[in-house]
Amino acid sequence: MFLTNHDMIELQAFRHELHRHPEVSGEERETARRVVEALRALSPSKTVTDLGGHGVAAVFEGSGPGPTLLFRAELDALPIEEKSEAIHRSTITGKGHLCGHDGHSTILLALAKGLSRQPPVRGRVVLLWQPAEEDGSGAAAVLADPQFAEIRPDFAYSLHNMPGLAFGRVAVKSGPVNCASRGMKIRLSGKTAHASQPETGLSPMAAISSLMPALTALSHGAPPAADFTLATVTHAALGEQAFGIAPGDAEIWVTLRTLIDDRMADLCERAEERVAKVADEQGLQHTISYHDIFFHCENAAEAVAHLEAALTAENIPFDEGNLPMRASEDFGRLRAVCPSAMFFLGAGESHPALHNPDYDYPDDLTAIGARVFMSVIRTSLG
C-alpha cells in the first residue's frame, strides 16, 4: 500500500472538511480552493484551475513519452438538508455531501500523494476534480473549455461509491452502465379568474391532472433491455398560493430516461406529442424546455480490462453486479474523447442510499479506491 497511516489521517481530515462545507453545482469555488491548497505541498507538474467553471486538474508527468491517463472525481454537493449527528456534518443549511463526492475527491488526493513520491515512469497522469456533476453540466463545460486541450487523455477512469453493494466489492462491466436522462419542464398557460367565477378563466387543472399519468405511462421495461424507458414526475405546480384566484398557469417537471442516447429522441418526441394533445384539447398554450441533460455512460472494453486487471492484482472481488443502473452520470461525455470506464465500489449492503438525508461516505473506501487507480497507473505507465 502506497499510503501511510499518517496519510490516511490527513485524508480523512480533508474529506471531513469538504463535508462540512458543501457547495452545489456551479458554486464549488471554496471546495476547489481547498483542493488546490492541498495539492500545493504535493508539487504536481502543473495545476489547471477554473476548468469548466471551478474545475481543477493536477498533472503528474513521467520522464518518458507515453499515454495520458485521466482520473475524475466530482466537487459538487446536493441541495438536500443533511440529517446526521456526525461531528463533520454539514454546516450549510439545505446543502449536503449526500452522494459521496467529498470521498471521491479524497481518493484523487490520495493518488496525488502517491504520485508526488513516485511519479509515473512514462506518460502522464491527470487528476480531474470536475464541477457540476449533479446537474449534468460539468463534464460538458470541462470538455468545452480551451484548457482541456492541455490535458486531453488517452484513457479516462472514474468510480462511484455504491450503497446496497457489499462493502469493498466492485461492480464493473463493458457497455452501458448508466442511463441517459434529461429533465423536461412543461409550462401550461391559460387565464386566471376570480375564485368565485372560475368559468370566466381557463384553468390548466384538468390538463395537469391528466398529463401526470399520461407521461408516466411512457415507462417501459428495465435495464438492460434496449427499449427501456422511464418517465418520472418530479415536480408539479398549479396557480398562485392564494384562495381568491382560480389558476391560469401550471408547471410539470418530468425526468425522462433511456438506456442509451439513441433512444432518448424517440421518448422526447412521444412525451411532447402527449403534452401537445392535452394542451390543444384544453385550449391551453404550452412550452417545453430541457434541463440536466445526461448522456448514457458506456464503458469501453479496453478500459474495463485495465480496471479488471487492477482489481485482480489488488485482490478486490468484482463482478457485473446489477449493471447497468437506471441512475445517470455525466462521466458518459468522456467517451467522446477517449476510451473510458467507471466502476462502482460497494459502500455496504445496509448503508443509507445515495441522496438520502442520512447518507455519509464511508472513509474506509478511500484506500480501496486509491489502490485500484494506482494499480492502473503503475501497470499502464510504470
- Could you tell me which residues come within 8 angstroms of residue 290 by beta carbon, excluding any fewer than 6 positions away? 182, 183, 184, 185, 268
Dist. CA 224–CA 229, nearest whole Å: 11
Cell numbers given for 121:
515512469
CA 199 distance to own-chain centroid:
46
* Cβ neighbourhood burial of 262 (10 Å; 0-12, 13-18, 19+): exposed
> 5-178+297-381: which CATH topology?
Aminopeptidase (3.40.630)
Nearest-Å Rg of the Cα atoms of the chain is 23
324, containing H or E segment: none
Dist. CA 110–CA 369, nearest whole Å: 9
Dist. CA 247–CA 240, nearest whole Å: 7
List the CATH code of the domain at 180-294. Answer: 3.30.70.360
- Are 260 and 200 a contacting pair, CB within 8 Å? no
- Are 151 and 299 a contacting pair, CB within 8 Å? no
Q: Break the chain into its structural domains and give their ranges.
A: 5-178+297-381, 180-294
- Are 86 and 143 a contacting pair, CB within 8 Å? no
pTM of the model: 0.94
193, containing H or E segment: strand 193-194
Helix (H/G/I), strand (E/B), else coil: 242: coil
Residue type, 345: L
Q: pLDDT by residue for the chain (382 residues), tens digit each?
A: 799 999 999 999 999 999 999 999 999 999 999 999 999 999 999 999 999 999 999 999 999 999 999 999 999 999 999 999 999 999 999 999 999 999 999 999 999 999 999 999 999 999 999 999 999 999 999 999 999 999 999 999 999 999 999 999 999 999 999 999 999 999 999 999 999 999 999 999 999 999 999 999 999 999 999 999 999 999 999 999 999 999 999 999 999 999 999 999 999 999 999 999 999 999 999 999 999 999 999 999 999 999 999 999 999 999 999 999 999 999 999 999 999 999 999 999 999 999 999 999 999 999 999 999 999 999 999 8
- Are 269 and 143 a contacting pair, CB within 8 Å? no
Q: Parallel, antiparallel, or unpaired: how do β-strands 318-319 and 170-171 relate?
A: parallel
Dist. CA 36–CA 57, nearest whole Å: 9
CA atoms 84, 85, 91, 94: torsion sign = positive
Nearest to 291 by CA among 313, 307, 268: 268
CA atoms 345, 351, 355, 361: torsion sign = negative
Taking residue 195's Cβ as centre, other Cβ atoms within 10 Å add up to 14
